[in-house]
Amino acid sequence: MQLFWQEKLLSLALDQWTREIPVTPERGKIFDRNGELLAGNETAYSVYARANAVTDIENTATVLSALLHVPREDMQAKLSDRSRSEITLLKQGEKSLVQSIEGSGLKGIYYARDNKRMYPYGALASQVLGFTAMGSEGTTGLERFYDSFLRGEAGEILYETDLVGAEIEGTSASYLPATDGLNLRLTLDYRIQALAEEVMGRTLAQTSAKAARCIVLDPQDFGVLAMVNLPSYDLNDPPRDDMDALNRLSRNCLVSDIYEPGSTFKIITAAADLEEWRKGNPAALSPQYVFPSSRTRSVDGTTIKCWSDHKNGKHSGQTLAEALNNSCNPCFVDLALGLGKETFYSYLTAFGFGKATGVDFSGEAVGMLLPEGSVRDCDLARIGFGQTIAVSPLQLACAAASAVNGGYYYTPHILSEIFSDDGYVAVKTGKKLMGRTVSEETSRLLSSMLEGVVREGSGKHAYIEGYRVAGKTGTAQKYENGVIAQGKYVSSFVGYFPADAPRYLCLIIVDEPQGSYYGSTVAAPCAKEIFEGIINFMKIPAQGGA
């Protein structure tokens, strides 16, 4: 029987005559795409007591209570507890404190090296990186999502003990080394992240907004270059004593929350119409089609109005390019109704709405898309200009990127690779094509129209002389309890450059700005600042306008 149970019996025997002090592995580090350290470790120490090996409880309690600033009675109660073989007295202590304990010559007190998580940039990308529970287990963000790679395997220091757990004099300890965790290299660029946080922080303060958010995406592979959620918190000092604040501030709303996108969604409606027109669908409206000048549309007995009063000939005789420039809602009502429910919904599905993008992050929202069978014409009309549909910011950024990058929809990702300290690459990610949305011809035509929005339309505050910036503004009313919340808006802008070969796409969202609330005046200038910063530190030469 011992032949078959050998491993188990040896383990039980070893457990009877030894006691273990854990050896904490070094948690894997997290770097940005350029090798800049975003999450690392500081050496710390944990202190343990083995009650059965403590020879003088009163003196030991007196010494430790003074060094650890714990009431003497509490320390004595801990040291008197013989029901546990190992008692943790301190986690993540300073080396000087452990040296003081060691110098006291106390019996039955041990220590082991530990790690304390350290974030060199404090609040930078805090909701993306996340934090750990006392330096060992990932709690939120990427620290949690990739915890199985980061945490490593604990080792042990084994001491021979007698029957009651006291260390046997003259014996030596056995050391089983820990296996350190693997490192992450992200697609994030800390320079773009820091720049975007600075711009959005300034906007948050100037507009007294509820929140300010931003995604910067590479449209060529959907690698995430920056994710900004403000207000934020310092990863080195998370508000653990206020769980409501901690949960609120640590939430990556760009992935986990949804909202009505408003006019930025018109990019998708325009893309669907142009693609169907290119295919020869007679229900689609051509780029030369001139929309009726009426400010309103009546659908299913409901009246849909344009944000503009259309006075002085404003919004009259518009083509699709001009409708995008003016962000005229009735025109996009016509586009959605013209395509019809079945065709329009096929594009919504292709662009990833109503389902997860598959980003490597926990808690992704899938958005809210009415079931096709229950959609009425009035619902379809409103979806055409970004109402009656709720999306996550990441969903919208990916959809917009696909519409203008040639029609390629990739899986968005934050991880670039997982590697060890010696350079071995355990996991490597790259672009993963999920499907096609529109043709390259449609994408080029749409992009030329969106470049016009920035050059001469509602997005002109994102214009940069000498650079081909394109985009679309959005100003959405907020709803509370099913009715419009008066005075509450979400200002947004989706922009990218270069318009003819997009490399940087930026989605700006400012939630409930006070005073001016239009996406054209609140959000578009943020994108301009971010793009100008990228141009400066990437040293991107001017290429001229279209």
Q: Residue 440 in contact with residue 485, Cβ under 8 Å? A: no
* DSSP per residue, 41-108: EEEEEEEEE-GGG-S-HHHHHHHHHHHHT--HHHHHHHHT-TT-S-EEEEEEE-HHHHHHHHHTT-TT
- Of 126, 263, 327, 392, the active-site residue reads 263
The CA distance from 200 to 64, in Å, is 48
If residue 488 lies in a helix (H) or strand (E), which one and from where to where?
strand 483-497
84: its two tokens: 């546990």
CA angle 304, 307, 311 (to 5 degrees): 105
* Coil/strand/helix, residue 413: strand
Locus of tokens 């292709």:
350
Beta bridge partners of 522: none
The answer to whether residues 403 and 437 touch, using CB atoms and an 8 Å cutoff, is yes
Dihedral sign of CA atoms 233, 235, 237, 239 in order: positive
Collapsing DSSP to helix, strand or coil, 159 comes out as: strand
**Taking the CB of residue 152, how many other CB atoms lie within 10 A of it?**
19
Tokens of 216: 């910067």
Q: Are 262 and 493 within 8 A, CB to CB?
A: no
174 assigned to active site = no
The half-sphere exposure of 542 on its side-chain side, counting CA atoms within 13 A, is 6
Burial class (CB in 10 A: 0-12, 13-18, 19+), 100: middle
CA distance 67 to 70: 8
Look at residue 110 and give its three-state secondary structure: strand
Six token digits for residue 38: 């975003």
In contact, 504 and 220? CB cutoff 8 Å: no
CB contact set of 383 (below 8 Å; sequence gap of 6+): 265, 336, 344, 348, 370, 375, 389
Q: Which residues are catalytic?
A: 263
